[in-house]
Amino acid sequence: MAPDSQPPLAWSLVIPVKLLAQAKSRLTGLAPERRSRLALAMATDTVAAALHADSVAAVLVVTDDQDVRLAAGDLGAVVLADAPGAGLNEALRHGAAYAIQRWPDRGVGGLAGDLPAMRPAELGAALKAAAELGVALVADANGTGTVLYAVAPGSEFRPRFGPASRRRHREDGAAEIDATGLPGLRRDVDTVDDLRAAAAIGLGPRTRAELQQGGGILAPSC
């Protein structure tokens, strides 16, 4: 390493995961138990990929679901109870506050928990860009939402997830990362059509195994 070079910025990523019994209600046609299993598989694949991304030093999962707590903890994530209990952005702020207090020299990011096609290299590339931009986002595949909101040290962490979050993050000063070549990172899953699109990219092993066990859901719609 050259004497004047700097190591890459390390990141703490916060992934909020709601109670599985309440998750993925828009996956129509599936029994509630199967929706819960699929939500767990997608969240676990997302956490596993994030933990293997370059520059990610810690993944913090904010959840009150016992199955998610066990799965995320087994992977090596830091698991926090959703103490605020006030929705997605409050859960993200809760996790970010913990991370900033413990590791103040790291960047902090909020990541969607339903990215079963995300590859570690995609996330690593996005975080490298975010380190240069200071406050940045990656828009979802539909172009209106956000899958990653990342803030370098010295900037305030102000997540605006929810409807029209891409616009609201940009209005709040976040720069948009060029997501060309990052299809798995952008492909969050809310509907069966989203799941088909993620499968076309390539699913993580847990989501793939859950779908193979259940069968039928990825058949093309008429």
pLDDT in tens, 119-164: 999 999 999 999 999 999 999 999 999 999 999 999 999 999 999 9
In this prediction the pTM is 0.93
- C-alpha distances out from residue 100 to 55, 58, 92, 113, 142, Å: 16, 12, 12, 20, 31
Q: For the chain, what are the domain ranges? A: 11-213
Q: Which residues contact 80 (CB under 8 A, 6 or more apart)?
A: 60, 61, 62, 63, 94, 95, 98
Query: Which of 6, 1, 95, 111 lies closest to 56, judged by CA?
Result: 111
Domain 11-213 grouped into CATH 2.60.40.10: no
Length of the chain: 222
Q: Taking 70 as the threshold, does the pLDDT of residue 221 lie above it?
A: no
